[in-house]
A and B are shown apart, each in its own frame.
Chain A
């Protein structure tokens, strides 16, 4: 495993009485795309929120370059970690350019409201996400796909080495999903950004992750390269789903095809196919 700037140690996370994540350790590999997957309520979004200091650990800690997040000013963290929540709410009637520009917040002061660096970062972020043409439009009026791209542009304008994305493809149709994930990978490949994303689609996760983290009931069940860890057993263990895993005809990576539960001997068939593939 490569070195890591962002790590979690013995992390226990809870909402009031309900413990969601318990005793979790994680090293986010530097310069890679890490994708966290798992069934609903497994704690994957909770983990991401803790990595982005939105949730205070009940026990243990999240460390950025060896310093506990809880000991850092939130503004200092924002200079290193960008984060896009699952359902961000924009100020009413804000325009696209305004919203993206807000990403520069952690780099600004009251006497430095718009530096050349701000302008460069915002222009670049909007260009990358292809929202420049929308600059003067109110965010309220955009389609779901456009809006998501604008939010990503804002997170990009923040110009951080680490970028955390909580289900960035929710509410998007398939082509926009691919568009967004392609963009994420591009940022990683071309700018060397470290990305951590929570995705609920296992196949998308397998396709875009350099490092896949599979969670179940608040624990990490497996992590590593998708080709190494995505197996019929893992899918059954984590999602409780019978499936076959075949090579993705486009990428050659693992592709999970659910077995047909209405078919009497589906599991037998699945096992047969799986064995054949191997």
Chain B
């Protein structure tokens, strides 16, 4: 302390790892690692996408794929344009939505375990969707609405049970896990009670699958995500401050309740919408944000990286899911679970040995 009084000249300090872009009064901080990671992930995803469109029952040369993509007539128009492309686009969107949704919920709950597939959001979406299937409410086009409603209801339930004049991160996660288990048994009840055809449909849906999905599923999801894009841009900045405890965040001038509610709603909505389009593709929402953060080493979860990683994980998992046992196509959720489950265990073990879950009382 005394030393600092003597040496008065100090070098300018800037948040570490950021590049500064100034134009007049406007100024932006760009996290270098995050920017590089995003570029690398984008390239990687593009490469996997190309492979995805080329490979399948019949190999389509990259040149032909590009012809189809650029709108020039090609003999591969149907296979690439009508079968592989919509499924790929849907996979990318579902992955990105899970990535961002997971990141936001983990941030709000201040716990890497608090991902929508662990705390009951996916299970809620599943329960209502399968309930709708079982009771014959739904033609396929309306099922996503049930998913969104189910995810929201589950989140509200968790919030209701976990709220004790504030949200404690650990309690939030534990109650979420409880709600998830309860809802999972509701799902099984519905499947058990349902007609055998419905049970089969439900069984396929519940694993999380892109099989047989087309533009009909991709288009509504695309419009929804596009409409949510401005919210995600807001969230990217707002979530920086949600990682503080309530008092500190408020002291920094963050309208905390509103911010957190907004982030949580957006996160739950994204995860539910994704679940509605492809079923609960497990572990993507858990994995993507945490890998993204380890890549970028930022204090908050980088949303763009998380979205890209989610998209990459889903597509990279769906490619072998399509090819491995052709003509039988595995549900993509089987592959993501195979990778995700060990990670979850590692996370829990690490969490217990290194430190208790961080979390303050509101």
Binds A, one of B75-83, B182-190, B191-199, B236-244: B236-244
Interface size of A by CB at 8 A reads 59
Which residues of chain B come closer than 8 Å to A70, judged between CB atoms?
Answer: none
Summarize B's interface: helix, strand, loop or mixed: loop
A114 contacts B247, CB within 8 Å?
no
Residues 13-45 of A contacting B (Cβ, < 8 Å): 16
In the assembled complex, the Cα of A102 lies from the Cα of B27 at a distance in Å of 15
A74 contacts B245, CB within 8 Å?
no
A147 within 8 A of B: no
Identify which of B8, B13, B110, B247 contacts A85 (C-beta below 8 A).
Answer: B247
B251 contacts A84, CB within 8 Å?
yes
Which residues of chain A come closer than 8 Å to B137, judged between CB atoms?
Answer: none
B46 within 8 A of A: no
In the assembled complex, the Cα of A90 lies from the Cα of B247 at a distance in Å of 11
Which residues of chain B come closer than 8 Å to A93, judged between CB atoms?
Answer: 293, 297, 299
A89 contacts B252, CB within 8 Å?
no
Binds B, one of A3-11, A118-126, A233-241: A118-126
For A94, give the chain B residue with the smallest CB separation. B299
A98 within 8 A of B: yes
B255 contacts A75, CB within 8 Å?
yes
B356 within 8 A of A: no
In the assembled complex, the Cα of A73 lies from the Cα of B11 at a distance in Å of 34
A227 within 8 A of B: no
B10 contacts A126, CB within 8 Å?
yes
Binds A, one of B14-22, B88-96, B126-134, B314-322: B14-22
B25 within 8 A of A: yes
A179 within 8 A of B: yes
B244 contacts A90, CB within 8 Å?
yes
For B112, give the chain A residue with the smallest CB separation. A92
For A100, give the chain B residue with the smallest CB separation. B13
Known A-B contacts A113-B27, A115-B27, A183-B1; A91 and B13 likewise in contact (beta carbons under 8 Å):
no
A112 contacts B27, CB within 8 Å?
yes
A127 within 8 A of B: yes
- Per-residue A-contact encoding for B225-265, CB less than 8 Å = 1, 0 else: 00000000000010011011111101111111000000000
B11 contacts A132, CB within 8 Å?
yes
Residues in chain B within 8 A of chain A (CB atoms): 1, 3-4, 8, 10-18, 20, 22, 25-29, 110, 165, 237, 240-241, 243-248, 250-256, 293, 297, 299-300, 358-360
Question: Could you list some 30 contacts between A and B, CB below 8 A?
Answer: A52-B251, A73-B253, A73-B255, A75-B253, A76-B253, A78-B253, A83-B251, A87-B245, A88-B244, A88-B245, A89-B244, A89-B360, A90-B244, A93-B293, A94-B299, A95-B17, A97-B14, A100-B13, A102-B252, A105-B241, A105-B254, A106-B252, A111-B28, A112-B25, A114-B14, A114-B15, A114-B27, A114-B28, A115-B27, A119-B14
